[in-house]
Amino acid sequence: MLKFPIYLDHNATTPCDPRVLEEMIPYFANFFGNAASRNHPYGWQAAEAVKFAREQVAALVHADPAEIIFTSGATESDNLALKGVADAYAARGNHIITVATEHKAVLDTCRHLEKTGTDISWLSVKPDGLIDLNEMEKAIRPQTILIAVMYANNETGVIQPVHAISEIAKRRGVLFFTDAAQAVGKIPLDVISDGIDIMAFSAHKIYGPKGVGALYVRRKNPRVRITAQMDGGGHERGMRSGTLNVPGIVGLGKACEICLNEMESDNRRIKTLRDKLENALLNVEGAVLNGNKLHRLPQVSNISFRNADENALMISLSKEIALSSGSACTSANPEPSYVLKAMGLEDELAKPSLRFGLGKYSTAEEIDFTVDRVGAVVRKVREEFETNMKM
């Protein structure tokens, strides 16, 4: 039996896996110690739990546990990476390269750095959402200290050529940072073979709790330096002070362990459902898929419906299907998705776009209902639009 509203917004957040919650619960009450308290069993238990979680997280991304820095989430990790590198390498250079389609946590942090003297180059993307590697390499200067390119886009699911980017960065002596909040736990990822120097990710995107994330910081070849952005007790190798969120960290660790064991089988099923949804909806007149069809995450489909009012679409669907529009809209000032606009879409396609984000709990029945309902709503919205145009 279907439960409404059907949840198809897994790029925004995911429900906590019951196994993750079960692992976390003891650390709220029974094992409530501060992981920095080294003089009694309560602190020792907490520290041991954090140590184990660090190993679980590192195993998922093929890092050394000592390279994992716990944070409050990917936004904090993005800020720490960008501002921390800008500070630590200021004597060497003040130029950072990033992309117009990055998450706001990267874009806004880079804009902040611009105001404080850092020179930022903003790369464009091709119509399929991929960057031009030649354009990126041409943007590198003697003063360039960092290239920041997200692993997979949160709106379209497009996966950037991370290995090729890292090869160029390494050859030119530049650090490579990636916001991998949408990629970690969704697709196989190896910081060593991918050549990643710094990487941000978050628990709540992979069926873990909100309010906890991590930053991978490479320790050798090269050893990356990051200046702390928060002063205090010098926790997390001096990069991130503050009492550790032990229950959240335990949850992140368990979520990573589950992803490592179940990602492959989950992805096969999710991709089958996504393709079924996508193939059916692309049969709707005027439907257009946004983003590269081959190089993308298995659970995402971003589709525009030409000649359909975006507000009417979302209002008509919201009670039965929870999903996101490609537009950041308010009733007074609807704005098309900056990601889709950067890909060259005109407003008539960028505005009426829907992002379908499937997850491991999505069912075939939910997809069948969504296909029928979205198709019917699009047709209804278009009829109303045409009627209003004739009046």
Residue 1 forms part of a structural domain: no
pLDDT band, residue 1 (cuts 50/70/90): confident
pLDDT of the residue at 335:
82
Mean pLDDT of 36-41: 96
Statement: residue 68 has pLDDT above 90: yes
Provide the β-strand partners of residue 177.
148, 198
pLDDT band, residue 211 (cuts 50/70/90): very high
Indicate the residue among 258, 287, 309 that finishes a domain.
258
Q: Determine contact, residues 180/205, Cβ cutoff 8 Å.
A: no
Residue 249 forms part of a structural domain: yes
Residue 226 forms part of a structural domain: yes
229-270 pLDDT, tens per residue?
A: 999 999 999 999 999 999 999 999 999 999 999 999 999 999
- Enter the tokens of residue 358: 């499937």
Q: Are residues 201 and 86 in the same domain?
A: yes
157-168 pLDDT, tens per residue?
A: 999 999 999 999
pLDDT of the residue at 332:
43
Question: 71: which DSSP letter?
Answer: E
C-beta atoms surrounding 234 within 10 Å: 12
pLDDT band, residue 387 (cuts 50/70/90): confident
Residue 53 forms part of a structural domain: yes
The average confidence (pLDDT) of the chain is: 96
Statement: residue 333 has pLDDT above 60: no
pLDDT of the residue at 39:
96
Residue type, 160: Q
Residue 194 forms part of a structural domain: yes
SS3 content of the chain, % helix, strand, coil (to 5): 40, 15, 45
Percent pLDDT > 90 in the chain is 95
Indicate the residue among 258, 280, 307 that finishes a domain.
258
pLDDT band, residue 334 (cuts 50/70/90): low
Rounded to the nearest 10 degrees, what angle do helices 246-281 and 41-61 cross at? 30
Q: Are residues 128 and 273 in the same domain?
A: no
Between CA 249 and CA 255 the distance in angstroms is 10
Q: Are residues 182 and 313 in the same domain?
A: no
356-366 pLDDT, tens per residue?
A: 999 999 999 99
Statement: residue 38 has pLDDT above 70: yes
Catalytic site positions: 329
Using the Cα atoms of residue 40, residue 46, residue 49 and residue 53 in order, give the sign of their dihedral.
negative
pLDDT of the residue at 105:
98
Rounded to the nearest 10 degrees, what angle do helices 246-281 and 364-390 cross at? 60
Q: What is the CATH number of the domain that holds 195?
A: 3.40.640.10
294-329 pLDDT, tens per residue?
A: 999 999 999 999 999 999 999 999 999 999 986 444
Residue 348 forms part of a structural domain: yes
Name every residue whose Cβ is closer than 8 Å to that of residue 130 and which is 6 or more positions away in sequence: 158, 160, 161, 292, 295
Q: Are residues 247 and 338 in the same domain?
A: no
Mean pLDDT of 328-352: 81
Residue 181 forms part of a structural domain: yes
Between CA 281 and CA 293 the distance in angstroms is 15
260-302 pLDDT, tens per residue?
A: 999 999 999 999 999 999 999 999 999 999 999 999 999 999 9
Q: Are residues 167 and 298 in the same domain?
A: no
Q: Are residues 249 and 271 in the same domain?
A: no
Q: Are residues 330 and 242 in the same domain?
A: no
Cis-peptide into 5, omega within 30 deg: yes
Q: Are residues 102 and 222 in the same domain?
A: yes
Q: Are residues 238 and 356 in the same domain?
A: no
Count up the domains in the chain and report the number. 2
Q: Determine contact, residues 27/46, Cβ cutoff 8 Å.
A: yes
Q: Are residues 203 and 286 in the same domain?
A: no
Q: Are residues 31 and 159 in the same domain?
A: yes
Residue type, 331: S
pLDDT of the residue at 325:
85
pLDDT of the residue at 244:
98
Domain span holding position 356:
6-12+263-390
Q: Are residues 151 and 108 in the same domain?
A: yes
pLDDT of the residue at 330:
36
Indicate the residue among 226, 258, 290 that finishes a domain.
258
Q: What is the CATH number of the domain that holds 363?
A: 3.90.1150.10
Question: 187: which DSSP letter?
Answer: B
